[in-house]
């Protein structure tokens, strides 16, 4: 009985494959409609790759015809279901431009934007595609402020923006990394963290960024040579100037984060800086 069951299943599968190949290779009168019908059936069964091949053959035949809208929607969806997000983004975008009055407009506009979201790489890589995705999703939100997809769209934007924050923070923190033949670049680190804090004022990484900026400033100051630089307002001792900047950073940190996990380190930095600055007071 079991063998008979498997035999029947095998025959059905072979018959199905045979029918698909026959329709795929068909040409002439009636073949186009047959491919559309079978393609839609395969799509509904979740056989997106096969449906995609059939739809791809008949797209040119349906241009300007009443069923073109349905075909283009299904064709775009096959790419999305197959996770070919580069093409699905393009196809959905083309759909919205071609059929601005379609009942599928909101859905396809969202799926186009979501396709861009799916193309966003991990934060350690180049974030050009992440920026594109933020722009596309924000464009969707602006176009459909009352959309049923609004909650998800806002969530996607937050995820992407956090990824951009992570990237900016990662770049700044890299200046602390020591590779063979290289030393820490404290000046660039301070500048990068300044930029980060300006660009992302409400970031979850703000506390950490403030600490690393302080740490970079402190290490730069204590390792500075006792030399002078000429400025219009007079002669300034570089090391003292950097210590004073570090004190400003430590005071600012302590005012903002009184229960920080970095509190012990910050207090130690503040103590050393005060002692060093005291020496300059005693000299004058």
236: confidence class by pLDDT, cuts 50, 70, 90? low
Burial class (CB in 10 A: 0-12, 13-18, 19+), 172: buried
Residue 52 in domain: yes
Are 29 and 88 within one domain? yes
Per-chain mean pLDDT for the chain: 89
Spell out the alpha helix ranges (H) of the chain: 2-25, 31-44, 48-58, 68-81, 85-98, 105-118, 128-143, 150-174, 186-199, 206-222, 238-256, 263-283
CB 114 within 8 A of CB 85: no
CA 278, CA 97: separation in Å to the nearest integer? 69
| Chain segment 108-141, per-residue pLDDT in tens | 999 999 999 999 999 999 999 999 999 999 999 9
137: CATH: 1.25.40.10
The answer to whether residue 267 scores a pLDDT higher than 70 is: yes
| Chain segment 44-82, per-residue pLDDT in tens | 999 999 999 999 999 999 988 999 999 999 999 999 999
The answer to whether residue 195 scores a pLDDT higher than 80 is: yes
Q: Where a domain ends, among 141, 164, 187? A: 164
Helix (H, G, I), strand (E, B) or coil at 125: coil
The answer to whether residue 4 scores a pLDDT higher than 70 is: no
Q: What percent of the chain has pLDDT over 70?
A: 86
Q: How many CA atoms lie within 13 A of 258 on its CB side?
A: 1
Kindly report which listed range (124-133, 159-168, 237-246, 264-273) carries the lowest average pLDDT score: 237-246
* Domain tally, the chain: 2
- Give the pLDDT of residue 232: 47
Tell me which residue has tokens 């960024």. Answer: 209
| Structure-derived torsion over alpha carbons of residues 119, 121, 158, 189, reported in degrees to the nearest 10 | -150
CA 264, CA 269: separation in Å to the nearest integer? 9
Are 265 and 139 within one domain? no
Are 148 and 232 within one domain? no
Are 125 and 245 within one domain? no
280: confidence class by pLDDT, cuts 50, 70, 90? confident
| Chain segment 13-33, per-residue pLDDT in tens | 444 568 899 988 888 778 999
pTM for the model stands at 0.83
Residue 121 in domain: yes
- Give the pLDDT of residue 229: 55
CA 276, CA 40: separation in Å to the nearest integer? 77
Are 145 and 34 within one domain? yes
8: confidence class by pLDDT, cuts 50, 70, 90? very low
Structural domain range at position 237: 204-282
Are 217 and 150 within one domain? no
Residue 222 in domain: yes
11: confidence class by pLDDT, cuts 50, 70, 90? very low
Are 158 and 59 within one domain? yes
Q: At what angle do helices 105-118 and 150-174 cross, to 10 degrees?
A: 20
Q: Comparing C-alpha atoms, which of 62, 121, 56 is closest to residue 82?
A: 56
- Give the pLDDT of residue 16: 53
Question: Comparing 142 with 20, which gets the higher pLDDT?
Answer: 142
Q: What percent of the chain has pLDDT over 90?
A: 75
């Amino acid at each position: 009985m079991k063998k008979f069951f498997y035999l029947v299943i095998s025959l059905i599968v072979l018959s199905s494959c045979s029918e698909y190949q026959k329709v795929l290779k068909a040409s002439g009168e009636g073949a186009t409609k047959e491919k559309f019908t079978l393609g839609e059936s395969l799509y509904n069964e979740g056989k997106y790759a096969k449906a995609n091949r059939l739809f791809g053959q008949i797209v040119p035949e349906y241009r300007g015809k009443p069923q073109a809208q349905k075909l283009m929607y299904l064709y775009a969806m096959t790419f999305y279901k197959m996770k070919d997000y580069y093409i699905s983004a393009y196809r959905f975008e083309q759909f919205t431009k071609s059929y601005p009055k379609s009942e599928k407009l909101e859905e396809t506009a969202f799926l186009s934007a979501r396709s861009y979201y799916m193309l966003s790489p991990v934060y350690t890589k180049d974030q050009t595609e992440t920026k594109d995705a933020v722009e596309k999703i924000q464009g969707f939100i602006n176009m459909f402020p009352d959309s049923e997809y609004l909650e998800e769209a806002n969530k996607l934007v937050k995820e992407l923006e956090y990824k951009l924050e992570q990237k900016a923070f990662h770049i700044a923190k890299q200046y602390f990394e020591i590779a063979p033949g290289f030393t820490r670049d404290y000046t660039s680190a301070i500048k990068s963290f300044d930029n980060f804090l300006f660009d992302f004022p409400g970031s979850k990484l703000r506390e950490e960024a403030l600490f690393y900026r302080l740490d970079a400033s402190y290490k730069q100051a204590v390792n500075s040579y006792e030399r002078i630089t000429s400025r219009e307002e007079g002669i300034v001792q570089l090391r003292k100037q950097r210590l004073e900047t570090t004190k400003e950073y430590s005071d600012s940190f302590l005012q903002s984060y009184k229960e920080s996990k970095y509190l012990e380190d910050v207090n130690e930095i503040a103590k050393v800086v005060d002692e060093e600055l005291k020496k300059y007071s005693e000299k004058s």
